[in-house]
Amino acid sequence: MILKARHHPFIYPFFNWYTRWKLSGKFHSVHISGDFDEQHLPVLLISNHISWWDGFWVNYLNLRVFKRKFHFMMLESQLKKYAFFNKTGGYSVKKGNRSILESLFYSAEILSDPGNIVLLFPQGKIQSIYSSTFLFEKGISKILELVKNRIQIMLIVNMIDYFSQPKPSLYMYFKEYKKENVDIQCLQDEYNHFYSSCIFDQKQKAIL
């Protein structure tokens, strides 16, 4: 049995407040770049995974832009260790176990409600911020097969830079995946292309 997401009536609002407070204290500034065409559909977020901060960053983006009930997949061992996250929308996945199918079906179930949003890190592990190519694990294919075209898919790239400030600035880029073909290879290729364009934009900021 997987650990299903909960949204505790006190802990979840606190988590949202804590997200805003934490970012305001730890980062010099937060920059959000992208356009979202609200279609009143469930939203699947595909993001790079570079640090402990990722969930907080994407929750902040959700609070600012998408405004849906936040859900995110976590390794079962980590979710049991940090049970707080289960009460803020976290649900479990256990790699190498048959229950992984339950997690994938549960993800699709969440994405049947237009008021929900699901964050996935399809590379399945934390990678260096200097990684330039992302290989997606196969699990996301099952979710895409189950939800078909009844969702909006958003690609997210998070980056940090210091430039001349003592604190880092956070740069969040996002765009919608609009191609009719949503197989994992096309999605992976599109994400890698988007990531490269974000790197280029980030380098231009350093020049300016």
At residue 47, the pLDDT reads 96
Please count the other Cβ atoms lying within 10 Å of the Cβ belonging to residue 107.
23
Average pLDDT over residues 183-191: 92
- Nearest residue to 108 via CA among 140, 70, 69, 76: 140
- Please state which CATH number belongs to domain 11-207: 3.40.1130.10
- Judged against a pLDDT cut of 90, whether residue 180 lies above it is answered with no
Domain boundaries, given as residue ranges, for the chain: 11-207
Q: How many whole angstroms separate alpha carbon 144 and alpha carbon 179? A: 13
Question: Is residue 189 within 8 Å of residue 122, measured between CB atoms?
Answer: no
Q: How many whole angstroms separate alpha carbon 208 and alpha carbon 204? A: 6
pTM: 0.94
CA atoms within 13 Å, Cβ hemisphere of 1: 3
pLDDT tens digit sequence for 25-78: 999 999 999 999 999 999 999 999 999 899 999 999 999 999 999 999 998 998
pLDDT tens digit sequence for 81-115: 999 999 999 999 988 777 899 999 999 999 999 99
Question: Which residues, at least 6 apart from 84, have a Cβ–Cβ distance to it below 8 Å?
Answer: 11, 15
At residue 207, the pLDDT reads 67
Strands 69-75 and 90-93: parallel
